[in-house]
Amino acid sequence: MYVQRKSKVHQRKSKHIPRSPLCQYGSHGGTLVVDPFAVAVSIVGGTKGGAIGYGGSLLVAGMVPNPPDGMTWTLGEFTNLFLSTLKSLSKDVVGFKSIAAYHSGLNINPLVTSEEADDGLHKDLHASVPIRIRNKSFVDYIFTCSLEVAASSDLPMQIHIGFGDTDLDLRHANLLHLQPILEDDHFKNCHIVLLHTSYPYSKEASYLSSVYPQVFLDFSLGIPKLSVYGMCSAIKELLELAPLNKVMFNTDGYAFPETFYLGTKWAREVITSVLLDACDGGDLSIQEAIETTQKILRGNAINFYKLDEDTTQIMKSKVVNVAADYHTQYLEMKEGTVHRLPKSLDEAVIALKRMKF
Ligand SMILES: [Zn+2]
């Protein structure tokens, strides 16, 4: 079964310009991306920098402050700033991430009109304080605009799928809602990554990746959040139909060093267990299982995001910085005092161990 599905991944053209891996992290994936919604949040809020990526999107998740005094937003002003910001970021990132699932859901209308989006923007602006982006037409518009930028920049779009927190309606986070987007000729060249093991829609994700060349999978959050049985069964479901070169490791690590450590530890153990079962069942030979492990844990992501040694080194340092930064914020919140920023992941781990809970 696995062997038959070694279909060639649709290869993306490599750019000649070396690209640094990322400038920010997505709000939930921890996956080397910029979140278009976070960008939207920062733009509507009138601050271009602060809310991009981890810095603010995790906390505000679609909430925006009032526009500055005397300022009103039109869809045209919003779109110009939004698109120019995304385009300028596109040189420094390896992909975008959407959390549309947290807003109005994944049933995105690829044909949403600017009139509908304009109406939605004004409804959101006048609905509540702080303002929250939840109007479906406006969210759909942001999503489709982002996807166009991603496609024209030859960057993939990661999409939050499935479980999250109570701010998300799981019914609207079902990836099957994405079919109109996947079928739309306008977006067929944009590579899509279905994040978070797509749990509990892992089987559906596996199916979509087998029928749509542009769909790829990643198993962040499912590992290490689920039970051991849950991790194994979800990864098995993900591999039931998916081509083996379309599935990628991701820890979903954020804030604490342990999230990176546990994601890595359990990914290795679960992949080993699942692929050994595949060998037992006759799907793979031992040699194929070894090659598959290398692909899933490393090679697929390196090829997909077009990473090289330099970029992976920069990524490592950014991961350390993000973890250390969050660790410091947590200490400050916990103890009400200002602490020195840990200089390294090791130092953050030591500091974390010394904490009294
Ligand atoms: Zn997410």
Whether residues 346 and 262 fall in one domain = no
Return the pLDDT at 350: 57
Ligand 1 centre to CA of 180 (Å) is 21
> Structural domain of residue 39, as residue ranges?
21-307
Whether residues 299 and 331 fall in one domain = no
> Coil, strand or helix: which one is 98?
strand
Ligand 1 centre to CA of 7 (Å) is 28
Ligand 1 centre to CA of 98 (Å) is 8
Ligand 1 centre to CA of 250 (Å) is 12
Return the pLDDT at 259: 78
Residue 237 lies in a domain: yes
Whether residues 263 and 314 fall in one domain = no
Ligand 1 centre to CA of 71 (Å) is 32
Ligand 1 centre to CA of 163 (Å) is 8
Return the pLDDT at 255: 64
Ligand 1 centre to CA of 161 (Å) is 7
| Cβ partners under 8 Å of residue 278, min gap 6 | 1, 2, 239, 284, 289
Whether residues 275 and 151 fall in one domain = yes
pLDDT tens across 113-156, in order?
999 999 998 888 788 766 678 899 999 999 999 999 999 999 99
Contact present, 199 and 222 (Cβ < 8 Å): yes
Whether residues 229 and 331 fall in one domain = no
What is the CB neighbour count within 10 angstroms for residue 125? 20
Whether residues 324 and 298 fall in one domain = no
Whether residues 173 and 126 fall in one domain = yes
Residue 5 lies in a domain: no
Among 302, 94, 101, 57, residue whose Cα is nearest residue 201: 101
Ligand 1 centre to CA of 345 (Å) is 23
Instruction: Report residue 13: phi and psi, to 5°.
Output: -70, 135
Ligand 1 centre to CA of 279 (Å) is 32
DSSP state of 172: G
Whether residues 269 and 349 fall in one domain = no
Q: Which residue is associated with the tokens 């509990």?
A: 200
Residue 321 lies in a domain: yes
Q: In whole angstroms, what is the distance from residue 323 CA to residue 315 CA? A: 12
Ligand 1 centre to CA of 252 (Å) is 8
Whether residues 314 and 272 fall in one domain = no
Q: CA 217, 221, 227 angle in degrees (round to 5)?
A: 115
Whether residues 149 and 179 fall in one domain = yes
Whether residues 265 and 241 fall in one domain = yes
Residue 274 lies in a domain: yes
Residue 178 lies in a domain: yes
Return the pLDDT at 80: 83
Whether residues 331 and 205 fall in one domain = no
Give the relative orientation of helices 75-89 and 136-152 as an angle to the nearest 10 degrees.
40
Residue 276 lies in a domain: yes
Q: How many domains does the chain have?
A: 2
Q: CATH no. for residue 136?
A: 3.20.20.140
Both tokens of residue 282? 């006759």
* Residue 1 Cα distances to 4, 156, 271, 281, 284, angstroms: 5, 28, 17, 10, 8
Return the pLDDT at 29: 36
Collect the ranges in the chain with pLDDT lower than 50: 1-39, 41-65, 68, 70, 337-343, 352, 355-357
Ligand 1 centre to CA of 349 (Å) is 25
Residue 13 lies in a domain: no
Ligand 1 centre to CA of 157 (Å) is 12
In one letter, which amino acid is 74? T
pLDDT tens across 66-116, in order?
554 545 678 888 888 888 888 887 877 788 888 889 888 999 999 999 999
